[in-house]
Amino acid sequence: MLQNNIIKVAKETISNEARAIEELINLLDQDFTAAVEHIYNAKGRVIITGIGKSAIIATKIVATLNSTGTPAIFMHAADAIHGDLGTIQQDDVVICISKSGNTPEIKVLVPLIKNFKNTLIAITGNKDSFLGKQSDYVLNAYVEKEACPNNLAPTTSTTAQLVMGDALAVSLLHLRGFSSKDFAKYHPGGALGKKLYLRVSDITKENQKPQVSPDTNITDVIVEISEKMLGVTAVVEENKIVGIITDGDLRRMITTNKEFTHLTAKDIMGKNPKVISNKAMAVDAMESLEENGISQLLAEEKGKYVGVVHLHNLMKEGII
């Protein structure tokens, strides 16, 4: 019974918040459009402030804006009235987040911001509050009730604030024509960043470069594959790829030929190897490996063989 009750409460919480988020669609109006356009055209940054749980939401919205091309800074409302107002510069736009719009800190802070003549945008659940009436634009984040059974703990209201912030950030992203390449500039670390900026050339330059000629004796081919430790070698003629030999090709050769020492590379090589440009993105190499069910790709640049990219390289870099 305890487990069933826990699941029931969790489902009610999610349903409550989902309904509130769905209702936000009907609360979007011309103030939202005007606020987005004003931020887009502003010469300064976006300063986002709040107190309590709203301050925590503010920090997340700041992070989202910064990562999608809109410079933003968090300023705690309580700290602002004790010296941090210097954070706000002349051309900055200020966003103030407050469910009630009537907290004491907000009532002190808002007139100070207005004195600086900065544009003030409110994200609030009460358009008729002190904050709502003093703001240039109001983004309505009203919720009927909190998910908390006592209707006290900020739950649904903070979720609504967060979603309104996401809507703001994504709208600005579209206005700026913010692309995946732009995104990569702000996310250079981790697997996500690598998917956006890591190129095949970054991998091939770290690998050894196995290669043999078409007339190389099979014994030397085996040595080359073994020494370079990539399970493959390119067959190259005049610096151009003419074939490929994998460790799988060697196993098949041994299985079908009792005597093979007289063979050369051209006798067992695959003549249509999968090749990728050295300038291609590493994520494209991954897709090619997956589509073809293979472990290695030969890379070329300006028609010349430059190296190998292996499935293990991509796994090591976190691309897979």
The share of the chain scoring above pLDDT 90, in percent, equals 81
CATH of the domain at 295: 3.10.580.10
- Same domain membership, residue 225 and residue 153: no
Task: Please list, residue by residue across 232-261, b when 16 or more beta carbons sit within 10 angstroms of its beta carbon and e when fewer do.
Answer: bbbbbeeeebbbbbbbebbeebeeeeeeee
Domain that holds residue 207: 197-316
Q: How far is CA 138 from CA 109, 175, 230, in A?
A: 17, 20, 60
The count of domains in the chain is 2
CATH of the domain at 157: 3.40.50.10490
Is the pLDDT at 41 greater than 90, yes or no? yes
- Same domain membership, residue 234 and residue 136: no
Confidence label for 2 from pLDDT (cuts 50, 70 and 90): confident
User: Would you say residue 186 lies in a domain?
Assistant: no
User: Would you say residue 189 lies in a domain?
Assistant: no
- Same domain membership, residue 233 and residue 127: no
- Same domain membership, residue 83 and residue 28: yes
Is the pLDDT at 48 greater than 60, yes or no? yes
- Same domain membership, residue 225 and residue 144: no
- Same domain membership, residue 42 and residue 165: yes
- Residue 126 CA to chain centroid, in angstroms? 33
- Same domain membership, residue 161 and residue 84: yes
- Same domain membership, residue 222 and residue 152: no
User: Would you say residue 192 lies in a domain?
Assistant: no
Is the pLDDT at 1 greater than 60, yes or no? no
Q: Taking the model in full, what pTM does it have?
A: 0.69
240-298 residue pLDDT tens: 999 999 999 999 998 888 788 889 999 999 998 999 999 999 889 999 999 999 999 99
Give the pLDDT mean for 5-34: 95
Q: What is the pLDDT of residue 103?
A: 94
- Same domain membership, residue 51 and residue 171: yes
- Same domain membership, residue 119 and residue 70: yes
- Same domain membership, residue 161 and residue 45: yes
**Nearest alpha carbon to residue 191 among 288, 49, 320, 42:** 320
148-198 residue pLDDT tens: 889 889 999 999 999 999 999 999 999 999 877 777 666 666 666 667 678
User: Would you say residue 246 lies in a domain?
Assistant: yes
Q: What is the pLDDT of residue 3?
A: 79
User: Would you say residue 185 lies in a domain?
Assistant: no
Is the pLDDT at 138 greater than 80, yes or no? yes
- Same domain membership, residue 150 and residue 34: yes
Q: What is the pLDDT of residue 192?
A: 64
Give the pLDDT mean for 87-115: 95
Q: What is the pLDDT of residue 111?
A: 95
Q: What is the pLDDT of residue 253?
A: 92
